[in-house]
Amino acid sequence: MARSTPEIPNASMADIAFLLLTFFLVTTTINNDKGLSIGLPPPPDPNKNEEVKMQEKNIFKIQVNSSDALLVEGEPMEDVSGLKEMIIKFVKNKGVDPASSESPEKAIVSFKTDRGTSHKRFVEILDIIQGAYYDIYAEQAGVTNKEFREAASQLADPEKKAIYERGKKDYPMNISIAEPTKVGN
Amino acid sequence: MSKFKKKAEVKQEIPTSSMPDVVFMLLFFFMVTTEMRKSSIEVKQQIPKAAQLRKLERKTLVANLYIGQPTEAKFGTEEKIQANDAFISTEDIIRWVNEEKSKLAEAEREQLTIAIKGDKDAKRGIIADVETELRKGNARKVLYTAADNAGAKKN
């Protein structure tokens, strides 16, 4: 008995697929999980006096006030483009200039903001400080800044980990983000 | 005489028979990558820009905190912290951190990263308060979410 094989018309399949595709295209939000990563210090111990004396010359002071104005080492700064070079020079000083840092281990970049400082300004300055360190690391590891940062997020890979460790050697990222002052709120 | 013969007429049609396959492939890609947001974000979110971005190693180890002015006027103009689908106060952060940690496997709890998605106009004060609480709650890995501005400006 000859049986006619039933067929489903599939001319509209492409249309349906397009419709679904457009739906998912529109609703998809590619998660942006990128940013500036920092490690916070452990909580302050009330039993211990945390007062640590640091030599003034080993601290690179960056202050931002409530109206987002910048003070670098006591001097007001309008244009931030030279800040990164200043930090690199400070960290890599190694006692050459007696008024600057003694060694990369002792060098600390202190970043103090006000409660009224905008998050945008905070991220901008933190970006520059971290950029200075990443530039040093990348140079030491012999890769580009971008390659170094990529390696830093793939530490499971032994090859990447080697790059990361070679870059970070002798240069701890001493960024101190101080408790904000309370002038503006 | 002419060495170059005119080429034979070639059909100028693009084969479309594989188009549904291509479309389906795209479709599956977006179906898989789509994440339906469980909660809508009720605070302003204009993420600041930065160049020195780091990717997160493991997305499952991330908990998001959204900080900014509420988008709806009825919640006032003061900056608020949103975790999951509700506004929380700074005092609740330790509890929230512990909740997030309990969702993870024992060995991974210390690796929890808090992504602070701060609006660019958010003030440093509230974010610093959050940081203080995170230190107390022992969730010390923090990521300030930022958009990439590489190429836009060299610094």
Considering its fold, how many domains does chain B have in total?
Answer: 1
The CATH number of whichever domain residue B94 belongs to comes to 3.30.420.270
The candidate with the shortest Cα–Cα distance to A31, out of B3, B125, B55, B114, is B55
The candidate with the shortest Cα–Cα distance to B45, out of B67, B75, B77, is B67
CB burial of residue B109 (10 Å; 0-12, 13-18, 19+): middle
Q: Which pLDDT does position B120 carry in this prediction? A: 85
This complex has an ipTM of 0.76
- In chain B, count H helices and then E strands: 3, 8
Q: Which pLDDT does position A30 carry in this prediction? A: 66
CA dist list (Å): B29 to A10, A12, A30: 22, 21, 12
| B39 is a domain residue | no
**Residue B57: its chain A contacts at CB < 8 A?**
153-156
**Residue A42: its chain B contacts at CB < 8 A?**
135, 138, 140
The string of pLDDT tens digits covering residues A85-135 is 888 888 888 878 887 888 888 888 889 888 888 888 989 899 999 988 888
Confidence of residue B37 (pLDDT cuts 50, 70, 90): low
CB of B97 closer than 8 Å to CB of B114: yes
Strands (E), chain B: 49-50, 54-55, 62-68, 80-83, 86-88, 113-118, 141-145, 147-148
**Residue A119: its chain B contacts at CB < 8 A?**
48, 67, 118-124, 127, 144
Q: Which pLDDT does position B155 carry in this prediction? A: 40
| B40 is a domain residue | no
Q: Of residues A3 and B83, which shows the higher confidence score?
A: B83
Q: How far apart are CA A107 and CA A93, in angstroms?
A: 9
A14 shares contact with chain B (CB less than 8 Å): yes
CB contact under 8 A, A80 and B27: no
Which parts of chain A have pLDDT scores under 50? none
Q: Of residues A54 and B133, which shows the higher confidence score?
A: B133
Q: Which of A38, A40, A117 sits opposite B124 (nearest CB)?
A: A117
| B109 is a domain residue | yes
Domain that holds residue B85: 49-148
Amino acid identity, position A173: M
